[in-house]
Each structure stands twice: as structure tokens, then as C-alpha cells.
Structure 1
Amino acid sequence: MADALLTVENLAVEFQRNRDRIYAVNGVSFSIAPGEALGIVGESGSGKSVTLLSVLGLIAENGRITSGSAVFQGRDLLKLRRRELEEIRGRDIGMIFQNPMTSLNPVMRVGDQIMEVMLTHHVASPKEAYRRTIELLEEMGIPEPEVRFRNYPHEFSGGMRQRIMIAIAIACNPQLLIADEPTTALDVTVQMQILSLLRDLRQTKGMAVALITHDFGVAANFCDRLIVMYAGSVVEVASRAEFIRRPMHPYTLALKESIIEVGHRHREVRAIPGMAPVLTSPPNFCAFADRCPFAIDRCRNERPQLRSFGNGHGVACHRAEEVLELVH
């Protein structure tokens, strides 16, 4: 995508675990346009979070990027020095982590934590940062912001802590916001409030959002375009409309059948059988084959490549045409 805000090409990440080498991300490519909401969907262990954390230089010490590029505004993030990357991280790219209770500093007032990111990146004076923090707390729907500024994380509910995390992530008005499972462990009502807040922020500030989630329904309701990942690879990519109209990868179909949808009271909810594989060697086969009802010998011996089916719809499945015909 020529006008993309972020373009990731052929990203590969591996981890050393005892004597094993784990191939966590295997040749992932995607792009995010300015102002776009992109959903990255898959089960735990599919490589969703590792992909984006790698781009930001935040993977664990036992991990390393073995190939690829991540070009943000003309600069390859994977080639930047640590200091250069730190200047972009938090200022131009904001991040909401999964668990706000472990991401927030428990012995630091929440207002100071919001101010800190602005002061670190020199985008405001202390007086301006304080004023902006009060505005952010109000914007996040936190009552009595001047009072709550002085509170500690444990004095807030889970939903309010997540709002504080969002305030930290957008304090410097980033162009891209990465939200890693922002509604995990929150009840359904609070989930909807957080997603509604993110939608409003995206519209008012014009920032792009990359939403990492295991919940296909959340992604389909929030995002313009979706990527489905499995075992460290992209298996399907399409617009929201295409995913709703004609999902073509067996894993995508299985994800859709494993969630409860409004208005489908009599439809059976089906769990995906088996477990995702732990890849201790580079995949030269379809990693979903052992769990797939459509699998044939070719799937177990040849890795499918992402093929175009028009309208920006790509599918990595040897039997995509047959699956489409059988299911639809």
C-alpha cells in the first residue's frame, strides 16, 4: 500500500527456549493506512502480540527478529537504534497493553504516569502536561479528574484502569494506536464502553488503530479490515464486509462458529478441536491441517501461500475455492 502509515514485510521472529527454537512469527506481511482500524485476530499463541511487539522493539530477551522490515513514515523501525525507537514509541505510536494492573506503576499516582509520557517526549511543559492530563481524564470519562489525578492504580476499577492506560497511550496524540486485547478480563458492558471510547477517539483524532484480539466478533464490529493469524502466519486478510460475506479459510470459519452471535439463538457454538502447534522448526506445511476438516495430503506436505481473490481478499489455503463452494 503506497500511502500506508505502517508497512510490515516478511517479518520472522523466533525464540530460544531451553534447547528448542520456537518459530513464533513466520513471514508476516501487512499494512495499516492512516486513520484505518485494522484487526489482528487469532487464538492465544498465534503470534498476534509478538508481531506488533517486535515492530516496537519490545520482545523478550530470548527472542530475535530474523528477517523482515517495518517501515513507519519512511523509516524502518527494525533498523533504528534503541534511542531513535524510544523517541517514536509513545509519541508517534501509542500502545495499550493487555493488563493495566501490571502495566501501570503501583506506587506512582496515575496523573503523574500520564504526565510522564508527555514530559519524556518533550511535547509539553510541566504546567501544560498537567492541564492536558486533567483534560484526558475528563475525556476518558473519569469523574472528578483533579481528585483522581492523585489516586493510585489500585484505587480504580479494572475498566477505569484501562481508561487510564488509553490516556497514557494517546497523551502525545500518536498517529498509530496499538491496542493489545484492550477488553480482556472486563465484563461485557465495560468492554462495549472501552470499544466505544476507542471508536470515538479514532474518529475525533484521526489516528489509525491496530486492534489485537482473540474475539472475532469484537474485531468485526470495530475494524475496517481484518487479518487472521494462525501459528505465526497470516491465513486470511480482507475487509470487514468480505469477512462477513464470504470467509474462505477453514480457520476463519471455525473462529466464527466458536462465538455466540446476537440473533443466532439456535445455532450451535462449536469449539475448535485440538490445539495449535508449537513450531520448533520452520513450517513447510499448513499448520492448521491437523485441526481442519478440509485437509488433504497436500496440506500436510506443502505450505500454502497467500493468494488473492479480489477486493483485497487474500487466503492462504490450498482448497480455498472448494471451501467457499461447500460452505456458501
Structure 2
Amino acid sequence: MIEDLTAEKLATENQTAEDVLTVENLETRFRRGDDTIYAVNSVSFSVAPGETLGIVGESGSGKSVSLLSILGLARGARSVSGTARFMGTDLLKLRRRQLEDIRGRDIGMIFQDPMTSLNPAMRIGDQIMEAMLTHHYTNRKGAFARTLELLDKVGIPEARARFRSYPHEFSGGMRQRAMIAMAIACEPQLLIADEATTAVDVTVQAQILDLLDDLRKGRRMSIILITHDFGVATNFCDRIVVLYAGKVMESARLAEFLACPAHPYTVGLRDSVIEVGQRGRKLTPIPGMAATLTEPIRGCPFAPRCSMAIDRCTQEVPQLRSLGPGHTVACHRAEEVMSRAS
């Protein structure tokens, strides 16, 4: 029997008592002129200690905004509601100063564009040290020594000389590595990597993912990887959440996700990527454009682009429901999708 899930049941289904982060019913709204932008719509997910969670979707699906909202960094947001419990503390109820104490210390973040995220007027080493000194992780002498250690750990050669370099003197891959060093400087329990490999070539991409995985294993640190790259997510993550139009479409452990995708959007993401060794396979793009979010969702937001859509899909919002342990989907025709995709 397939069970419809409330947000509370969904959270219970997907979490354990030791979860590092549990998000329930997250909603974020923006104002654009006279319009309201419904950017995030009742998003729920959790991440366990040492787990790598992938949040996947096209640009505009609400991936980055969801995590920025949790950290109080969604600039211009008119409202943010729901709960985001980090180690038992609801981040959405904290004051700005309390959130600042957690950001960079307990939760590290690798931002999407290191060239604009790094201060162009500050030396790389000083920026990494600043994170440790701000959070009283160590004294200045200790911060200097740890910065050299971090630069070496993330694969930047001649750490002592590079300490004094400015961001424009680094390549894209080295800037990304410097951002990783800054994000892990205070040994966070959770690392959020927002499109951490987008601006680098595939060789550097593999090196960065290997580095993040080594850091995770060494400290049992949890990682949330935000990416539009389906291939990166399926090669790196333990569990995947698919977002579309600010809503969770599907969530599952990696093996289940690959073997039995249950949402047409998930299948579309899978079929729009060609992996190594799949020579000759046809590349099938998802038709149409991403949904505009200027009105509340009244049906399945993916219905206009879905080849399996029926009248019910345009009239009734599909609720997340369980297909098995840890596997949830928001689709009226999930069983048929699974039978076709398998």
C-alpha cells in the first residue's frame, strides 16, 4: 500500500534521531514589483552525520534559495517560514547574531561563484584566517599555521607563498579550493557546497569531489551538494532530493534512485545526461521551459512539460507519498513511471 505523507510523517520517514539537519515545510517568498515569487514551496528533507545529500534540479528550481533561506542569507526575501533544526536548534528562529555564530563555524558553505564570493582586495590567506579569528577558533598564530595546513590539504602548491596571493592571481580551480579551505577552517559539522564544480573543467571537478569526499570521511562531516548536474550527483551522493518549482519531486537513496526513478522529471534529468561508457545512447532533453513561480501552485508544476500528464495533474497538486523505505515521490502516476523507467 502506498501511503500519502504529511510533512511530519515525511520527516519521520527520512530522518533518524541523530540527524544533523532536518528541514520541514520550508517556504520562501520574494516580492518583484507587484508580483509575489513563490520560490520555495513546502520543502522537507534531512541529512544524517557523515552523509552526502544531493539536491538536484534545473536553474530556478529553488535549490540554492532553500539553503540560503535556512542560513538567513536569502537577500530580499519577503518571508521565510517552516523549521530547520540543526543539531536540535531551529535556525529560522534565531536572531541574526546567533545565526552568524553558527555560519562558518558549525555550518560551512562553498558559494557558487568563488570569484565574486572572495574579497578581491584581501589576500587569500587573510580571508581564510578571518573565519577562524571571527569565531575564536584559535589565536592569530594558530590561525596562520592552520591556514598553511589547509592550503596544502586542498591541493594548493607552495602554501606559504600562495598565502599572500590575491583571488585574481588564482585560477578558477584554485579559487574553488581556497573557498573549500575557508569553509572547513573551523571544522564544521555540515558543509553546504553550492554548485562547487560548475566553473571548472572535468579534471578539476573530479579532484574537488575527491577532496570533499576525503574531508567527509576524515571527520564524519555531512555534505549537502547543490547541483544541476545529474551525473555529478549520482556519482558523489548517498541520497538525492529532486526539486522542481521549489517543491520536492522525489527523494531516495542512490541505489533506489537509479534503479527505480518514479517521477517523470527525474527520468528527464537522467536521460538528458550521457555518462562515460554510454556511447551511442540518444540524448533526450526535457522539453519546454522551467515553471514561472508568480502564482501559487495549483497542479503538478511539471505537468506542462510532462508527456505523461493527465487532467488530474493540472487540477490537483500531487502530495509526497512513500514508495518504500526512504523513497518518496510527488506524482499521480509514479507506478507507471517506475514500470517504464526500469
TM norm structure 2: 0.94
Alignment counterpart, residue 22 of structure 2, candidates 3, 7, 10: 7
Q: Paired residue for 2:324? A: 310
Alignment counterpart, residue 16 of structure 1, candidates 17, 28, 31: 31
Shift of 1:326: 2.6
Give the share of equivalent positions with the same residue, in percent: 67
Alignment counterpart, residue 51 of structure 1, candidates 59, 66, 75: 66
Shift of 1:278: 1.0
Alignment counterpart, residue 251 of structure 1, candidates 249, 265, 271: 265
SS at match of 1:10: strand
2-side partners of 1:326 and 1:130: how far apart?
57
Alignment counterpart, residue 137 of structure 2, candidates 123, 129, 137: 123
Q: Paired residue for 1:60? A: 75
Q: Paired residue for 1:155? A: 169
SS at match of 1:94: strand
2-side partners of 1:223 and 1:209: how far apart?
9
2-side partners of 1:271 and 1:315: how far apart?
22
The 1:147/1:86 distance shift into structure 2, 3 A limit, reads same
SS at match of 2:324: coil
Give CA deviations for 1:253-304 in whole Å, capped at 9, x if unaligned.
0000001111111110011110011111211210000000100000000000
Q: What are the residue-to-residue correspondences of 1:73-152 with 2, within 5 Å?
A: 73-152=87-166
Structure 1 portions without partners, runs of 5+: none
1-side partners of 2:250 and 2:34: how far apart?
32
Counterpart residue identity of residue 3, structure 1 = E
Whether 2:174 is the aligned partner of 1:174: answer: no
Give CA deviations for 1:176-229 in whole Å, capped at 9, x if unaligned.
000000001211111111111111111112100000000111011111000000
Whether 2:52 is the aligned partner of 1:40: answer: no
Contact 1:44 1:214 in 2 (8 A): yes
Contact 2:261 2:341 in 1 (8 A): no
Shift of 1:137: 0.5
Q: Paired residue for 1:29? A: 44
Counterpart residue identity of residue 270, structure 2 = K
Q: What are the residue-to-residue correspondences of 1:188-207 with 2, within 5 Å?
A: 188-207=202-221
Large movers: runs of 4+ above 3 Å: none
The 1:63/1:187 distance shift into structure 2, 3 A limit, reads farther
Q: Paired residue for 2:254? A: 240
Q: Paired residue for 2:9? A: none
1-side partners of 2:216 and 2:87: how far apart?
19
After superposition, the CA RMSD in angstroms is 0.8
1-side partners of 2:160 and 2:340: how far apart?
59
SS at match of 1:40: strand
Q: Paired residue for 1:322? A: 336
Contact 1:286 1:303 in 2 (8 A): yes
Q: Paired residue for 2:178? A: 164
Contact 1:48 1:212 in 2 (8 A): yes
SS at match of 1:295: coil
Give CA deviations for 1:231-258 in whole Å, capped at 9, x if unaligned.
0000000000001111110000000000
Counterpart residue identity of residue 4, structure 1 = D
Contact 1:17 1:62 in 2 (8 A): no
Shift of 1:327: 2.8
Give CA deviations for 1:31-76 in whole Å, capped at 9, x if unaligned.
01111100000000000000000000000124421x2000111110
1-side partners of 2:159 and 2:290: how far apart?
45
1-side partners of 2:46 and 2:140: how far apart?
36
Contact 2:25 2:44 in 1 (8 A): yes
2-side partners of 1:246 and 1:12: how far apart?
29
Counterpart residue identity of residue 17, structure 1 = R
**The 10-residue stretch of structure 1 (137-146 or 40-49) with the greater mean CA deviation from structure 2:** 137-146
Contact 2:28 2:77 in 1 (8 A): no
TM norm structure 1: 0.98
2-side partners of 1:220 and 1:205: how far apart?
22
SS at match of 1:26: strand
Contact 2:105 2:186 in 1 (8 A): yes
SS at match of 2:289: coil
1-side partners of 2:53 and 2:339: how far apart?
27
2-side partners of 1:10 and 1:92: how far apart?
23
